[in-house]
Amino acid sequence: MKLLLPVLLWLSASAALAAAPNAQALATSKNCLACHAVERKLVGPSYQDVAARYAGQKDAVSRLAEKIQKGGSGSWGPVPMPANPVTPEEAKMLATWVLSQKK
Ligand code: HEC
């Protein structure tokens, strides 16, 4: 019994850590990183800037997930983001990952 709790904690911690590289691989495979970088502006805003702007906003994941899927303009400048070929689940995973980027 004494061993069980640390093992469970270790399992849940490694599951959380595994999500980040998966989302980054997804961002690479969906070409997000052709227009975005984590730390600096390219065609689109850096993901750290996006995370800073929406920090603490409860509906940020769903709003950004929708924008990732459908595209749009006007939040960061006149250049639009085109719609991206992602499923709603992938869009949500990417939005969560973007919002986790801290300076
Ligand atoms: C062709 C270039 C391009 C590609 C590819 C692209 N983006 Fe963007 N992205 C942009 C631009 C430009 C903006 C700024 C739009 C605006 O001002 O509203 C943006 C904005 C964003 C935002 C912030 C939206 C907001 O309303 O604040 C997020 C999050 C984002 N992109 C994530 C992604 C993800 C994830 C992918 C891959 C599935 C992706 N982008 C692919 C160009 C791109």
Regarding the beta carbon of 74 and ligand 1, being less than 6 Å apart is answered yes
Residue 6: the pLDDT is 74
CB 103 within 8 A of CB 52: yes
Å from CA of 3 to ligand 1 middle? 45
Sign of CA dihedral 8, 9, 10, 14: positive
Report long-range pairs for 24-28 (Cβ below 8 Å, ≥24 apart). 24/97, 26/90, 26/93, 26/94, 26/97, 27/94, 27/97
What CA–CA distance (Å, rounded) separates 88 from 1?
41
Residue 12: the pLDDT is 65
Regarding the beta carbon of 77 and ligand 1, being less than 6 Å apart is answered yes
Output the residue whose Cα is nearest ligand 1's atom 2.
Answer: 35
Residue 16: the pLDDT is 59
- State what percent of residues in the chain have pLDDT above 90: 78
What CA–CA distance (Å, rounded) separates 73 from 81?
6
- Residue of 22, 35, 38, 79 best suited for mutating to test ligand 1, as the one with most atoms within 8 Å of CB: 35
Residue 49 above 90 pLDDT? yes
More confident of the two residues 67 and 1: 67
User: Per-residue pLDDT tens for 29-46?
Assistant: 999 999 999 999 999 999
